[in-house]
């Protein structure tokens, strides 16, 4: 069975419903910032027959597979090898000043998790790589083998929210002195041995948080996201909508902060009338973060941690209108 057949897009109908009011007009442009295996992109093209799609992915393998999947849609789909914080440059290159919809489906694609040799999954032994684009950057093994202990502790605590970061890093430093880390099984075993017995009884695989932290560091995910969400909001035309699926609290917090800031009145307190330039740029489309239904989680376990937030652009900023 192909990866496409196995791939089930998370919260698909809800994402389509959220973006729909902006994408039914002729000539609407929607950007899928995280193409992956193309499940969301294909649904966007099928559901909104007048819309044009621009899809980004940093993984050449994903672009190849999705290109085959989206080929029937011809020139309605433009696929670009890019990281999603490069959205402004991509749109400028394509001559697209504003878009009507933007979708982010953050985290690791099904293909990357399912292909053992990519090294994302802690459940099977594989080279410790974890790069979403294997043509550039440093691998997870290089991070483990070369970073100073204090930096490794910071990464595990910040990106993995790992309470036992110090214990794990002490063990890593001891082991890497004997032999560099190369594969995931050795790291998983080390984590199991380093953690207190009580910590192993809760929260699933004890290696999960460390693998998440290494993946975020290797791919610069949060740094990229900090630039990408404001850039996507800035790219929206008035009436345009953004939908963002996050899979852990660090991502969701960042998305929440950007969207909430855009929905605030920024006027100094005490003004009798709020001038236009201080009015909100965004209207929030979700009350907090929306969660997948119990039925969806039962059918697709990878949907379980998903959090969906959305917003609509309701005002042009003075300095943006002149671009």
Domain map (residue ranges) of the chain: 3-111+221-313, 130-219
pLDDT value at residue 176: 96
The CATH fold assigned to 3-111+221-313 is Rossmann fold (3.40.50)
pLDDT value at residue 270: 81
pLDDT value at residue 276: 83
| Binding residue ranges for S-adenosyl-L-methionine | 38-40, 57, 84, 105, 112
pLDDT value at residue 198: 66
> CA 268, 273, 279: angle at the middle one, nearest 5?
65
pTM for this prediction: 0.85
308 DSSP β-pair partners: 245, 290
| Binding residue ranges | 38-40, 57, 84, 105, 112
For 22, phi then psi, to 5°, come to: -90, -15
The DSSP bridge pattern shows strands 307-313 and 236-246 to be antiparallel
For residue 59 the two structure tokens come to 């993984």
pLDDT value at residue 25: 86
Helix axes 165-178, 184-194, angle to 10 degrees: 130
Mapped onto helix, strand or coil, the DSSP state of residue 241 is: strand
**What span, in angstroms and rounded, lies between the C-alpha atoms of 186 and 183?**
6
The answer to whether 57 touches 36, Cβ cutoff 8 Å, is yes
pLDDT value at residue 4: 41
pLDDT value at residue 234: 97
Domain 3-111+221-313 and domain 130-219 have a common topology: no
pLDDT value at residue 163: 92
Which ranges of the chain have pLDDT less than 50? 1-6, 110-114, 116, 118-119, 321-323
CATH of domain 130-219: 1.10.150.170
């Amino acid at each position: 069975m192909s990866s496409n057949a196995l791939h089930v897009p998370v919260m698909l109908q809800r994402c389509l419903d959220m973006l729909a009011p902006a994408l039914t007009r002729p000539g609407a442009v929607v950007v899928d910032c995280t193409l992956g295996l193309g499940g969301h992109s294909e649904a966007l093209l099928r559901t909104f027959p007048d819309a044009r799609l621009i899809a980004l992915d940093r993984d050449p393998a994903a672009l190849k597979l999705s290109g085959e999947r989206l080929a029937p849609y011809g020139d309605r789909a433009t696929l670009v090898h890019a990281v999603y914080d490069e959205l402004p440059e991509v749109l400028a290159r394509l001559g697209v000043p504003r878009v009507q919809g933007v979708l982010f489906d953050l985290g690791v694609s099904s293909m990357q998790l399912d292909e053992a040799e990519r090294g994302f999954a802690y459940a099977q032994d594989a080279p410790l790589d974890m790069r979403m684009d294997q043509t550039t950057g440093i691998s997870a093994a290089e991070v483990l083998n070369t970073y100073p202990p204090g930096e490794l502790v910071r990464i595990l605590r910040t990106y993995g929210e790992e309470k036992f970061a110090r214990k794990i890093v002490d063990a890593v430093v001891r082991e890497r002195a004997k032999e560099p880390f190369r594969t995931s099984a050795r790291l998983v075993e080390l984590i199991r041995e380093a953690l207190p017995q009580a910590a192993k009884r809760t929260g699933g695989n004890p290696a999960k948080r460390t693998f998440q932290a290494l993946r975020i560091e290797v791919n610069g995910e949060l740094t990229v996201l900090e630039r990408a969400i404001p850039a996507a909001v800035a790219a929206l035309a008035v009436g345009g909508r953004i939908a963002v699926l996050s899979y852990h609290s660090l991502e969701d917090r960042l998305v929440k902060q950007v969207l909430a800031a855009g929905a605030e009145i920024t006027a100094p307190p005490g003004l009798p009338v709020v001038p236009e330039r201080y009015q909100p740029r965004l209207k929030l489309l979700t009350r907090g973060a929306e969660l997948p239904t119990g039925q969806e989680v039962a059918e697709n376990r990878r949907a379980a941690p998903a959090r969906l937030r959305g917003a609509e652009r309701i005002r042009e900023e003075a300095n943006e209108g002149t671009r």
